[in-house]
């Protein structure tokens, strides 16, 4: 009698399509997938433990390393959580600057997602085009805060720097260019027969499944659930911005692609409006217990020096309690759960990272798919391993 055996295929940990050091143990029956098990943790750095030994302000550069493709959004999310714990709000101009940078970061993130997705499916050109356009954004970030990838540009209670001269003009130049570039990507991909065949009806996630498995961000919206934290809990100045929330209908990979493309256009709209409305004023909250003093006053103002040292050695002590704040990161809902015991160090910090939770649904949707679809599905969820493993 003929007998067949299932075979285990290890995708990764160094497979170029795995978006980082992730391993997928795929059980195959012929070309079809019987089971799939994500093996993660190769990039685990113990960030939550690190946070317990750091002042609130010291942890901000570490959050850059979470989702290293959208550091500004991570910074913003963390700062908002600490601000919620402290019960403060950034000044107007600070809020606008944060929104401008965070939305630019969202475009940059989706550009990488799109480029690497194309690369995974064999479309090399799209990667070159998206990275060319992301370069303009990275230049803007470098102009703003001096770093291209790990920005560390926001502080609790405001931003580090004000926008430099020429930033607004350069940002407007970018906004003029990018819509035609997005049209180019669409001409290359949206109706491309190969792209359609690879993505349509592959990795279908129903709306009920998406909610039950805790999907967030573009992956949830592609399944037809209209849920965007920027609309629901309008933090910062999102309530003054006009933008649409694109949703998909079928919940397959093609919808996830289409939602990301539309989100880039909406982000452009938000940046445009924020640049138009940008008010003058302070960028840092005016509270002596939180904001660092002005260094120029130091030679003849000794109490300010003492305050400077006090803030940096002991930090600011939020009241006892616990908060959770979720923020609409490009990949989904990035949330920080903070427990304060009244000292300058967080007692416990939990990072609710979107990619980690989004990954749970893989075994469910990959069952019955083909091996080649694994790569398409994986890329369509746009996971980043820095965030999964923390």
Partner 1 sequence: MALGLRDVALVVELLRGLGVTLRHLFKPTVTIHYPTERREVYERYRGLVRWDKEKCAACALCARFCPVKAITIQTDDGEDGKKTVKYYQIDAAHCMYCGLCSEICPVGALSHSPYHELAAYRREDTIYAQERLSGAPPITMYR
Partner 2 sequence: MNLCEIGRELERRYDGLVRVVQENPDLVVEVAREKLLEVCRFLKDTPDFEFNFLIFITAVDRVDYLEVVYCLRSMSNFRQIMLKVQVPADNPEVPSLTGIWPAAGFDERETYDLLGVRFSGHPDLTRILLPDDWEGHPLRKSYPVDKRPVRTY
Note the residues at the interface with partner 2 (CB under 8 A): 40-41, 44, 46, 48-49, 53, 84-85, 87, 211-214, 225, 227, 232-233, 321-324, 326, 333, 335, 337, 339, 347-348, 350, 352, 356-357, 359-360, 389-390
Spell out the residues 6+ positions from residue 33 whose beta carbon is closer than 8 angstroms to its own: 26, 27, 366, 367, 368, 369, 370, 371, 373, 374
298 binds, among partner 1, partner 2, none (CB under 5 to 8 A by kind): partner 1
CB 277 within 8 A of CB 270: no
Structure tokens at 5: 């055996």
The answer to whether 54 contacts partner 1 (rule: CB under 8 A) is yes
Nearest to 243 by CA among 264, 222, 215: 264
Question: Could you give the CA distance from residue 363 to residue 358 in angstroms, rounded to a whole number?
Answer: 11
Spell out the residues 6+ positions from residue 69 whose beta carbon is closer than 8 angstroms to its own: 108, 109, 112, 113, 330, 384
Q: Which stretch binds partner 1 (CB under 8 A): 181-189, 202-210, 250-258, 354-362?
A: 181-189
- Name residues contacting partner 1, limited to 11-50 (CB under 8 A): none
DSSP element (H, E) containing 50: helix 47-52
Cis peptide bond upstream of 255, omega within 30: no
Which 8-state DSSP code applies to residue 318? P
CB 13 within 8 A of CB 23: yes
Question: Could you give the CA distance from residue 332 to residue 228 in angstroms, rounded to a whole number?
Answer: 9
Name which position in 212, 312, 322, 360 contacts partner 1 (CB under 8 A): 312
What is the nearest approach in angstroms of partner 1 to the Cβ of residue 17?
A: 22
Q: Which stretch binds partner 1 (CB under 8 A): 88-96, 208-216, 264-272, 304-312?
A: 304-312
Q: Which stretch binds partner 1 (CB under 8 A): 27-35, 112-120, 185-193, 275-283?
A: 185-193
Q: Which stretch binds partner 1 (CB under 8 A): 28-36, 60-68, 248-256, 343-351?
A: 60-68
144 binds, among partner 1, partner 2, none (CB under 5 to 8 A by kind): partner 1
Which 8-state DSSP code applies to residue 32? E
Q: Which stretch binds partner 1 (CB under 8 A): 19-27, 52-60, 238-246, 260-268?
A: 52-60
Nearest to 389 by CA among 356, 354, 359, 362: 356
Three-state DSSP state, 351: strand
193 binds, among partner 2, partner 1, none (CB under 5 to 8 A by kind): partner 1
Binding mask of the shown chain, residues 189 to 208, with x at each position contacting partner 1 by CB under 8 A: x-xxx---------------
Name which position in 17, 42, 147, 272 contacts partner 1 (CB under 8 A): 147
Name which position in 23, 40, 59, 159 contacts partner 1 (CB under 8 A): 59
Question: Could you give the CA distance from residue 363 to residue 297 in angstroms, rounded to a whole number?
Answer: 60
Structure tokens at 178: 């990018």
What is the nearest approach in angstroms of partner 2 to the Cβ of residue 323?
A: 5
Question: Could you give the CA distance from residue 279 to residue 128 in angstroms, rounded to a whole number?
Answer: 36
The answer to whether 295 contacts partner 1 (rule: CB under 8 A) is yes
Question: Could you give the CA distance from residue 189 to residue 195 in angstroms, rounded to a whole number?
Answer: 6
**Measured torsion, CA atoms of residues 111, 113, 118, 124, in degrees rounded to the nearest 10:** 60
The answer to whether 125 contacts partner 1 (rule: CB under 8 A) is yes
Please, which residue, 65 or 348, has the CB nearer to partner 2? 348
CB 258 within 8 A of CB 248: yes
Q: Which stretch binds partner 1 (CB under 8 A): 1-9, 108-116, 140-148, 258-266?
A: 140-148
- Name residues contacting partner 1, limited to 67-96 (CB under 8 A): none
Positions touching partner 1 (CB under 8 A) are 54-55, 57-62, 64, 125, 129, 132, 135, 139, 142-147, 150, 152, 160-161, 164, 184, 187-189, 191-193, 292, 295, 298, 305, 308-309, 312-313
């Amino acid at each position: 009698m003929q007998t067949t055996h299932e075979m285990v295929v290890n995708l990764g940990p160094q497979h170029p399509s795995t978006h980082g050091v992730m391993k997928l143990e795929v059980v195959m029956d012929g070309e079809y997938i019987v089971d799939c098990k994500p093996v993660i943790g190769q990039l685990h750095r113990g960030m939550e433990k690190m946070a317990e030994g750091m002042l609130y302000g010291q942890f901000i550069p570490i959050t850059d390393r979470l989702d290293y493709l959208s550091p500004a959004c991570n910074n913003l999310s963390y700062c908002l959580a600490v601000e919620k714990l402290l019960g403060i709000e950034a000044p107007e101009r600070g809020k606008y600057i944060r929104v401008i940078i965070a939305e630019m970061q969202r475009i940059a993130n989706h550009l990488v997602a799109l480029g690497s997705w194309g690369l995974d499916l064999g479309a090399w050109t799209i990667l070159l085009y998206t990275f060319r356009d992301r370069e303009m954004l990275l230049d803007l970030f470098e102009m703003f805060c001096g770093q291209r990838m790990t920005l560390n540009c926001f502080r609790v209670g405001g931003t580090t720097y004000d926008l430099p001269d020429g930033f607004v003009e350069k940002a407007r130049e970018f906004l003029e260019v990018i819509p035609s570039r997005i049209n180019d990507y669409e001409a290359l991909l949206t109706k491309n027969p190969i792209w359609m065949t690879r993505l349509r009806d592959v990795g279908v996630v129903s709306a009920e499944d998406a909610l039950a498995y805790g999907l967030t961000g573009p992956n949830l919206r592609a399944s037809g659930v209209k849920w965007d934290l920027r609309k629901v809990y309008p933090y910062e100045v999102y309530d003054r911005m006009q933008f649409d929330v694109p949703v998909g209908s079928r919940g397959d990979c093609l919808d996830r692609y289409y939602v990301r493309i539309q989100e880039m256009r909406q982000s452009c709209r938000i940046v445009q409006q924020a640049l138009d409305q940008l008010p003058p004023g302070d960028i840092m909250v005016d509270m002596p217990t939180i904001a660092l003093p002005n260094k120029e006053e130091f030679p003849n103002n000794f109490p300010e020096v003492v305050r400077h040292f006090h803030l940096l050695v002991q930090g600011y002590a939020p009241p006892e309690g616990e908060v959770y704040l979720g923020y609409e990161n490009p990949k989904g809902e990035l949330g920080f759960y903070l427990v304060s015991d009244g000292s300058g160090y967080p007692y416990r910090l939990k990072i609710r990272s979107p990619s980690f939770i989004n990954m749970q649904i893989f075994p469910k949707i990959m069952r019955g798919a083909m091996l080649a679809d694994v790569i398409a599905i994986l890329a369509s969820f746009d996971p980043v391993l820095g965030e999964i493993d923390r």
